[in-house]
Structure formats: structure tokens, C-alpha cells
Structure 1
Amino acid sequence: MYYGLFKHVLIGPPVKAYYKPWAEGVENIPESGGAILASNHLSFSDSIFLPLVLKRKVVFLGKSEYFTGKGVKGYATRAFMSGVGTIPVHRGGGRASEAALRTGLQVVQGGELLGIYPEGTRSPDGRLYRGKTGVARLAIEAGVPIIPVAMIGTDIAQPIGQKVPSRTDIGVRIGAPIDPADYIAKQDDRDALRELTDTVMAAIAALSGQELADRDAAQYKRELDKAAKDASKDGGDTPSS
């Protein structure tokens, strides 16, 4: 309901006119059929600029909290997330992760483009972090290609915590599709999933020019938060001179 209105009327034309986002490799996007767009994740606005440079609709999976807010703000958030092609999923491990996978499977088997951020969260420092293997498992089960994508400049335009992107050059680089055919029937093989995921992340890094960090981004963020809290606590306990 909201997607066409947002992309072609409310958001698309003014955003494209103001930011003038550029794109390379758009020919790597199939004209029809399901596929996974596996992108680096630098900014909240990644999910805005990627669909703008493509003719086809891109569906993203977003945390369900975006769709459960109350009042005017809740309605606006819900409308916005629907407008940029986001469908709600419950985050977390176990059943929640499986539910997200099933939802993604329905999207690509329905012939749509599914946007995924394999890092699982925005990069805390501009590096490209280890991808989670759900992207590989999904591609293998659905039998669809993974298309590596690199967002360029969105972290400069909208750093974490900034509500409205600043005017700067923003671009999208799209790489050649990665066919999961060699991994068919290996969706339960951890080594195979990791190998395919690492191949995808290496392709993203080649497009983005980012340094690869061989660690989990969410875990690193938790470490940074803990270090900041410890430093604040130590500072608060230090007597003033």
C-alpha cells in the first residue's frame, strides 16, 4: 500500500533530486525472479537509498518494534517502515531467527528481491564485520542467487544518532550474482554455510573498499558499551582534586 506512494511520490523524487545517489552494476539485478541483495550496513538510510536506485521493489526484514508503537509517532514509524518495503520479524535467537528465515524464504520464493544485512547490525566503526550464515542458508534453501551490494557514503551522510542525512555523495555498487548451486543440500553443514557467507562478505568488501574485521559486530558493540560504562563508573568513583 505505502511502498509505491513513498518511492514514487513522497520520498523518491525529492530524495533523488536532493542527494542525487549514483549506482554501478544495476545490470546485475535480474529483471524478475527472487534474489537476495546482501549489503554492508553503515547507516539507517541504507534501506532508503538502495531501493531508490533500482526499478524493482526491495523487501527488508525489520524488527517488529517498528510496527507496534503507539500514537502519532507509532503510526508514522509504521507507515514509514512499510513505505520503504520493510516487513516485521521478531529479533533474537532460536524460534525468532527461524521465523525470520521462514519469512525471508517466502519473500524470495514469491519472486521478490530481499534485502539483507549479513553483519546483523550497523558497523560501529566503518569496517565490514563477519557475516551471519543465515544469508547462505536462505539462498541454499530457496535456490536463489546472492547479489553483493556496497553502500557508499551513507555513514558520512547519516552517522549513528543523526536523524536526517546530510547532503553528500551517496552511491550503490552492485556486484555479480553469487550462485549457491555448489552448496545445494548443504544448508545444515556449518562449514559450507560459513564458506559461502565468507565468499559473500569478501565480494562486498571488494565493492566497498572496507577493511574486513573477522569478528561479530554485535559482540564488538557490546564490548564497546561495557568499556564505556566501566570508564564512566571509574571516572565517577575518582575523587575530585
Structure 2
Amino acid sequence: MPIQSTQFKGVFIHTPTPEQASATTPQARQELSRKNQAFIERNESTLEQLASQRSGRALLGQIESIHAMAPRKRVVITPSNGEWPQSLSCEKHPETGALRPMNQWPDIDTYMSRRPSTSQFMPEVAAIPLPGREVPGSDEVWIATDPAIGMKFSSAESDDYELSPDHYVATLGHEMIHARDSLHGIQPRRAQNEATAEDEAMGRPLHKALLPVELRTVGIGQYADEIPSENSIRREHGLTERRSYHGFTREE
């Protein structure tokens, strides 16, 4: 099954079909089946690992609540095939079901908001809905990820790290926070700096306008007390915290 549910409502896992992966021989199909099953099992176990501690439990509970209020809203975890993990927010066509990526600035700006609420469960008020929509935020978030990519830092004072699958829970948690924010419409408003910085690890430009989003997601500087954050997940699982987001500790 290309897309299957998990035990967490609103969270799904997608794996490619033989046609999508161009697996034309019996051997290639068998290898694809093995990889797909390993991907499913690893992400299911990592979701359970997230749910075992306060931050991840709150995060998954928030996503389940969003899905319950608007069943079309969901997170889909899919293989990145070795690429650095990233999330893609999408709008779903109400009639055809076709997905439209919401990755341009006008789209992003429609669901960025920082309006506190009095709720301890969902501590932010969602953004204003898009025109013609009854609820704010995106409809689906696809997380392209690789369970081999986890950042193991040498110390809390250093940006030096090595890749470690044992630290994947922090990677998936980071992307799940992005997904929750996108579905609910509560991302920090972007900065005015439109410059980009190259990042060799990610293999793609880092948009400085999105530093407020990333710093809050990691839990750095003025966002150090945010829960859940990547760093709160790291603390709860005994992993070294991140001191920066790829070298950045503040908005520029």
C-alpha cells in the first residue's frame, strides 16, 4: 500500500510503488519491498519513541487534534532517498484531490502567525483562513526524510556533528513540528531579510527570511523555552542539544 496509516491519527507513511521507483526486475522489486518495509518500521518505532516523552506526546496529540477537526489535514512521511529531510506544505483541491505545493512567499505568508491563546494544549491561535477556506493552514504536509540522518553533536557548545541514526528521533521531531505549524497555521512571521546562505550539509540554500521559523522549531535564543521544540525533544531523550540552526543563533 503506497500510503498507510499509523497508530497516530493524521500521520501516514508513504512508500513508492515499483512503477514510481522504476523497479522493473524481480530482484529490484524485492529490494524495494525490503527498503519500504524497513522505512515503515523505523518511522513507526520513531513515532512511538516520540510519544514516550512529554514533548513528542504533546506534538502528536496536537496533530491528532488538528486532523480530528479537519480530517483532510494530515502528515505524510515519505523517503527522501538520502537527501536532507524537509517538509512540503500542500493545498488539496476540493474536487480533484490534486495537491498544490504551498512553497512560494504569498502562500507562506497566509499561514504565518504568532497570536497567543489561553489554551495550554494549543498555545497559539491559528492564522486567518485562505480565501474560500473554512480553516487556516495547509491541507497536507509531506515530510521527505531518511532515518539514517540524525545529528549527533560533539558538545552543547559546538556546531560539529556526525550523522547518527540513533539521533533520528530529533530529526523527525523537528519536521513534525514544521508539519503541525503548517497544518494549524501558526508559523512565526518571516523576517524581511531575503538573502540566502549556502549550507553544504543540507545541499540547498538556507533562506534567512525563515530563520524565525527554524530558530523557534529548534528552540534557540528567545525561543529556548518553547515546548515542543527539537531541543526539548533532545533533552527528554538524553541527546545533546543544538546550539544553533546551521550556524545561526538569531534572526539576521
With structure 2 as the length reference, what TM-score do the two structures score? 0.29
The structure showing larger relative contact order (alpha-carbon pairs under 8 Å, at least 6 residues apart) is 1
Q: Determine which structure has more spread, i.e. the larger CA radius of gyration.
A: 1
With structure 1 as the length reference, what TM-score do the two structures score? 0.30
Between Structure 1 and Structure 2, which shows a larger proportion of helix residues? Answer: 1
